[in-house]
Structure 1
């Protein structure tokens, strides 16, 4: 570890500070091989530090440090580093610290990033900007802050474009598309992924991990848009191009095909595919894929009109996701609560929806929270729980723009019991709707 290695200084100023720290005079570091005047010129930036001089100065600074039993380390290479080289070295160190702390220590991760930002404000080093902003994009994605993730991956992409790093450009497009997928901006997802595909294909770059992700996530975007033929097109491109899928990737493809068949109303084919996934997942002990297959099977049975079976499979998915802490736990709870409501089991619906509400509270995206509140209001109405419904209305009244559906559900419920109360709730719900 070099002395003052995290401070960016001109070579002469660095020598002056080290010498002052050791309490040495200029003549003390000449080694009787160079003049004190030369040291003075170097320290004041009046002459360039050359290697022969740097080696003499480093040797004498180390000699003085050893005499003082001062554990500092100095080399000629270190003294000769210009400010740009120092900035590069420090940013490289900060990047590796950020990688180390990404999953383990948010405070130290952010401290390293803030220091990197200070340096990048003065030194426009494109490759380091790209690497560090990419890590920030990953950091925010892991925290489910998808908008912030998107912003930093855009910054990263801009700098990868500047250094003409085609592989990293394609990788950045895939990460941007992934963030858009979670933000439900499906058209942007497809456009970004198509850019990534174009970069790889136009430069004849073989990067299977990136290409697989681009093709698969495009199929996901088309599924979410209800355009199942286009989704199949990308899945077919994926399976025609590659045949070396892991078991997990193979299950993901089968689940995706099941989603397409479900969307097209081919329920028997969808069910068969998803049942195969359950068997594969159980053999490979892949709990998340097993839970995904059960959840999608519940969608199949709901579409068939077999709501009891839909609840059964949704429950199986929930049981697995509760055990291993899946990030899909909140949506699984919400879907199950809605299904219990659908079969008129208001007691179970209330329990599950209250749990779902606890899971989604505090998230930036209020859509899941709004949906949980809405179905809880419907459940209280269905069960005739006036007191609980009124308490729910009071809970959301301060945020009625986002949760106005609770007011509308309550207004609908009271329309048959208390018209004045119904009108009051309807008026409140409409106040911010204009």
Structure 2
């Protein structure tokens, strides 16, 4: 458990210095001499706050020069075990970043071990990264409930760091899981939490927040709000970013269709189909099948027939069975009114 104990700052300085492979003379500077370092480490002189600050600056400078992935702070020289705890946390981070290393481990048990360790130490930076990595692993396994739990833990620690880029990034992952779990109101709550950071960050970082918020509104049946969010996204996304542009415009067309504004929906689909002509087959089929659905609703036999003539050859290009085949069959039968 993290606490200040009877081990002196001098002894902790010696332990940390040796762990990093620094010599006494290498961490001197300003009014700090090698003799003073020796006296401090042998507990002949106390390590006061001003001296500790200079020593830490010197050690961090040296660590940077040697490309050591470590940052020393006052707690390393004040709390016994704190430096080692950071090292252990970084080992967990390295393992989680290369999650093939844990394929033969009982993942739930391993993650519980990490949780128990982290509960004993105030390490918001390391916790932010570790909990995000665990959330990513569960997300790839489509265990979105577990993924959400760890993303929220990561978010709570990231907030403490005032790192706006990471706050927005983690919030986007929280929202993604909320939407997957049909927790749409909760997704909107998280979007509102980070709204204040929008002006503190690059506007493009907020794209995923706005898009996820639009999705949440769509699933809640709040189509006007969804369209408003998508309109704001068009300030950041242009047609050259084809995949994102198609996602935005397709979602907008779906909202117009749900509002029974079929003309507006078809205009969007017609526009983006031209741009999707050089895109992947799935994009083209998605647009065409969505248009087919609208023309079936409108009972426009001619347009349905024309679209079927366009879609069927594309379906023949697919290398495996597709949901589009089922939808075409469904809509093709519906038009027999």
Give me the TM-score of the superposition, normalised by structure 2.
0.63
1:133 equivalent among 131, 134, 144: 131
CA distance in 2, matches of 1:213, 1:316: 35
Look up the match of 1:248: 243
CA distance in 2, matches of 1:264, 1:217: 20
- Is 1:215 paired with 2:213? no
Q: How does 1:59-98 map to 2 (within 5 A)?
A: 83-98=81-96
2:283 equivalent among 289, 302, 307: 289
- Is 1:239 paired with 2:234? yes
Look up the match of 2:144: 146
CA distance in 2, matches of 1:276, 1:267: 14
Look up the match of 1:369: none
CA distance in 1, matches of 2:166, 2:254: 31
Q: 8 Å contact 1:98–1:112 — kept in the other structure?
A: no
- Is 1:336 paired with 2:330? no
How many aligned positions are there?
269
Please give the root-mean-square deviation of Cα atoms over the aligned residues, in Å.
Answer: 4.4
Q: 1:286 to 1:340 in 2, by over 3 A?
A: closer
Q: 8 Å contact 1:134–1:156 — kept in the other structure?
A: yes
- Give 3-state SS (helix, strand or coil) of 2:221's partner: coil
- Give 3-state SS (helix, strand or coil) of 2:202's partner: coil
Q: 1:292 to 1:303 in 2, by over 3 A?
A: same
- Shift in Å, 1:205: 1.9
- Shift in Å, 1:341: 10
CA distance in 2, matches of 1:277, 1:193: 28
Q: 8 Å contact 1:255–1:293 — kept in the other structure?
A: yes
Look up the match of 2:8: none
- Shift in Å, 1:255: 1.0
Look up the match of 1:304: 298
- Shift in Å, 1:107: 3.8
- Shift in Å, 1:100: 2.2
Q: 8 Å contact 1:311–1:340 — kept in the other structure?
A: no
Look up the match of 1:265: 260
- Shift in Å, 1:229: 1.7
Give 5+ residue unaligned stretches, structure 1: 1-9, 15-41, 51-76, 346-434
Q: 8 Å contact 1:161–1:169 — kept in the other structure?
A: yes
Give me the TM-score of the superposition, normalised by structure 1.
0.50
CA distance in 2, matches of 1:140, 1:317: 36
Q: 8 Å contact 1:157–1:169 — kept in the other structure?
A: yes
Residues 148-195 of structure 1, C-alpha deviations (whole Å, 9 max, x = no match): 222111111111123333332222222221112122222222222222
- Is 1:177 paired with 2:207? no
Residues 104-144 of structure 1, C-alpha deviations (whole Å, 9 max, x = no match): 97446938645533532433322111111112222222222
Give 5+ residue unaligned stretches, structure 2: 1-10, 16-40, 48-71
CA distance in 2, matches of 1:261, 1:109: 47
Q: 1:100 to 1:296 in 2, by over 3 A?
A: farther
CA distance in 1, matches of 2:128, 2:318: 36
- Is 1:227 paired with 2:218? no
CA distance in 1, matches of 2:287, 2:129: 36
CA distance in 2, matches of 1:128, 1:175: 18
Q: 1:248 to 1:84 in 2, by over 3 A?
A: same
Look up the match of 2:30: none
CA distance in 1, matches of 2:136, 2:239: 27
Q: 1:47 to 1:300 in 2, by over 3 A?
A: farther
Considering only CA atoms, is the larger Rg found in Structure 1 or Structure 2? Answer: 1
Look up the match of 1:158: 156
CA distance in 1, matches of 2:290, 2:184: 20
Q: How does 1:15-30 map to 2 (within 5 A)?
A: none
Look up the match of 2:54: none
Q: 1:337 to 1:238 in 2, by over 3 A?
A: closer
Q: 8 Å contact 1:190–1:218 — kept in the other structure?
A: yes
Q: 8 Å contact 1:288–1:320 — kept in the other structure?
A: no
